[in-house]
């Protein structure tokens, strides 16, 4: 089937596929740098395990070990995926001069200048994350620590990250979403659940007292339900984070990661709930299997439903900040990155090629709604997707994996 034939089929159900592609082309999706090196970063000993309740598993060869390798790998992903991308960095990806090093509380914009150059050359915006994990001072609580010195260290880190986010936003001329996530919590039943939360609240208040323009720097708070080694209690729980964002709407937005809820809860349903109250929300899209396992995003039902809600709720006009957050070390990392990002693009395009069935719902015509929604699943979407890839100058399905295999044998496999 040709694109023209597929387009006609969609037109018959009231969908303008050209318009769908036009809209999607300019929607930024934030690409997490940390899939390329298993969340290790450049500022700590790469042989130390990750802390903070996150984990990568697998030992596939070819992990990027230096900024140059990571940037080269990112270039592959950027080339292999259609659509508008934005970079997403963690503070631990600071790039130091030979012999230079700065601890997290001393980080400066200059440590991200090479990333700014990278983004400028490619016309990308950049999002940012303070790194409250994988550090000697992050062995227990960070922002919620009862130890004032530890707490101050991490508050200073948060403030430094506001300044860096502002630098990224100003240099690149695009808002910078700065996400605050900590793994603060306890393995076993705490004696005091309130103290850490009050300290966490006050610490975020202090971080956000660092001056910034909310039009350019968009601080978020990301909630979580539990982590490995942090099973009994999470300081930044769903209610805590949502409460914080709701009480600080003039300077903070809530971030939902779909790996951070109980298994039968769905973020797709939470999107309109939050958008009824917040002008802007942020998402980390991932694939949890039984826990927050951060598997590569597939074109599965919930990914499609999340994208459907983003589109249906007007999220593409900037109200929903879309970012990826998964890390698999057991398969080729460039393929992992690419599969996930292409799937988000596919799911968004599918959502944009879905007729608005609101009228059927309002008329209580659930029979027809089911029939039409089911028939949509066998529409010739592949042709629309291929056309979109062509339009964006990205390879079609079937044409990109060979390039990854070639790069793997020529570049990645030769890394130690
Ligand atoms: C961890 C959170 C957090 C991290 C990244 C690396 O559970 O999802 O967003 O994955 O900051
Ligand atoms: Zn996340």
SS3 content of the chain, % helix, strand, coil (to 5): 45, 15, 40
Whole-angstrom CA distances from 133 to 4, 52, 76, 152, 273 are 51, 5, 28, 15, 30
pLDDT, tens digit, 9 for 90 and up, residues 83-123: 999 999 999 999 999 999 999 999 999 999 999 999 999 99
- The number of the ligand 1 atom at minimal distance from the alpha carbon of 224 is 7
Coil, strand or helix: which one is 359? helix
- Mutate which of 284, 287, 294, 321 for ligand 1 pocket (most atoms within 8 A of beta carbon): 284
CB 286 within 8 A of CB 259: yes
Coil, strand or helix: which one is 80? helix
From ligand 1's centre to the CA of 123, what distance in Å? 26
From ligand 2's centre to the CA of 180, what distance in Å? 10
Q: At 198, which helix (H) or strand (E)? A: helix 194-207
From ligand 2's centre to the CA of 383, what distance in Å? 33
**Residue 16 φ/ψ, nearest 5 degrees:** -95, 100
Instruction: Please give the biggest Cα pair distance in the chain.
Output: 69
pLDDT, tens digit, 9 for 90 and up, residues 174-185: 999 999 999 999
**CA-based nearest residue to 79, from 299, 415, 413, 406:** 406
CB 24 within 8 A of CB 345: yes
Alpha helices (H) in 225-332, listed in sequence order? 238-247, 267-275, 301-312
pLDDT, tens digit, 9 for 90 and up, residues 345-366: 999 999 999 999 999 999 999 9
Which pair of structure tokens corresponds to residue 150? 């530890």
Q: Examine the pLDDT at 51 and tell me if it is beyond 90.
A: no
Q: Which of 85, 260, 270, 321 is catalytic?
A: 260
Domains of the chain by start residue, with CATH: 27-359 (3.20.20.150)
Q: Which of 292, 309, 383, 408 is catalytic?
A: 292
Alpha carbon 340 to its chain centroid, in Å, reads 11
Instruction: Give me the numbers of helices (H) and strands (E) for the chain, helices first please.
Output: 14, 12
Q: What is the mean pLDDT of residues 50-65?
A: 92
**CA-based nearest residue to 334, from 78, 54, 89:** 78
Instruction: Average the pLDDT over each of 42-51, 71-80, 295-304, 379-388 and give the range with the smallest value.
Output: 42-51
**Could you tell me the pTM of the whole model?**
0.97
CA distance 174 to 179: 16
Ligand 1, pocket residues at CB < 6 Å = 34, 39, 54, 129, 181, 222, 224, 257, 284, 292, 325
Which pair of structure tokens corresponds to residue 243? 């409460």
CA distance 373 to 364: 15
Q: Examine the pLDDT at 170 and tell me if it is beyond 90.
A: yes
**Residue 151 φ/ψ, nearest 5 degrees:** -60, -45
From ligand 1's centre to the CA of 88, what distance in Å? 12
Q: What is the pLDDT of residue 119?
A: 98
- The number of the ligand 1 atom at minimal distance from the alpha carbon of 131 is 11
Strand pairing partners for 234?
A: 185
Q: Which of 135, 224, 270, 346 is catalytic?
A: 224
Q: What is the pLDDT of residue 46?
A: 77
Which pair of structure tokens corresponds to residue 317? 């006009």
CA distance 273 to 68: 42
Rg (CA), the chain: 21
Residue pointed to by tokens 């012999």? 99
- The number of the ligand 1 atom at minimal distance from the alpha carbon of 129 is 11
Say if strands 291-295 and 287-289 run parallel, antiparallel, or are unpaired: antiparallel
Q: What is the pLDDT of residue 54?
A: 86
């Amino acid at each position: 089937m040709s694109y023209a034939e597929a387009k006609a089929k969609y037109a018959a159900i009231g969908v303008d596929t050209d318009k769908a592609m036009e809209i999607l082309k300019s929607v930024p999706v934030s690409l997490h740098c940390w899939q390329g090196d298993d969340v290790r970063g450049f500022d700590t000993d790469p042989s130390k395990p990750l802390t903070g309740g996150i984990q990568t598993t697998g030992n596939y060869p070819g992990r990027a070990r230096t900024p140059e390798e990571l940037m080269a790998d990112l270039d592959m992903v950027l080339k292999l995926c259609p659509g508008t991308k934005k970079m997403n960095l963690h503070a631990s990806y600071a790039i130091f001069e030979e012999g230079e090093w700065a601890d997290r509380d001393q980080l400066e914009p200059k440590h991200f200048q090479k990333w700014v150059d990278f983004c400028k050359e490619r016309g990308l915006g950049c999002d940012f994350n303070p790194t409250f994990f994988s550090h000697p001072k992050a062995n227990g609580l960070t922002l919620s620590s009862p130890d004032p010195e530890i707490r101050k260290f991490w508050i200073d880190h948060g403030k430094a990250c506001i300044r860096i986010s502002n630098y990224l936003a100003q240099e690149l001329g695009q808002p910078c979403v700065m996400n605050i996530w900590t793994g603060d919590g306890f393995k076993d039943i705490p004696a005091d659940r309130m103290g850490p939360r009050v300290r966490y609240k006050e610490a975020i208040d202090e971080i956000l007292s660092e001056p910034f323009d909310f039009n350019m720097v968009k601080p978020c708070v990301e909630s979580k339900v539990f982590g490995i080694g942090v099973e009994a209690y999470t300081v930044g729980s769903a209610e805590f984070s949502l409460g914080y964002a709701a009480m600080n709407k003039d300077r903070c937005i809530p971030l939902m990661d779909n790996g951070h809820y109980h298994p039968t809860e769905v973020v797709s349903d939470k999107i309109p709930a939050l958008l009824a109250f917040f002008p802007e929300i942020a998402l980390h899209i991932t694939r949890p299997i039984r826990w927050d396992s951060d598997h590569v995003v597939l074109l599965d039902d919930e990914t499609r439903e999340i994208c459907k809600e983003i589109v249906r709720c007007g999220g593409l006009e900037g109200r929903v900040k879309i970012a990826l957050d998964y890390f698999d070390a057991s398969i080729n990392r460039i393929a992992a990155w690419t599969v996930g990002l292409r799937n988000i693009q596919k799911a968004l395009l599918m959502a944009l090629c879905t007729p608005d069935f609101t009228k059927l719902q309002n008329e209580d015509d659930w029979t027809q709604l089911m029939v039409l929604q089911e028939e949509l699943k066998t529409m010739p979407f592949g042709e629309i997707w291929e056309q979109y890839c062509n339009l964006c100058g990205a390879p079609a399905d079937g044409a990109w994996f060979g390039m990854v295999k070639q790069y793997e044998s020529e570049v990645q496999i030769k890394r130690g």
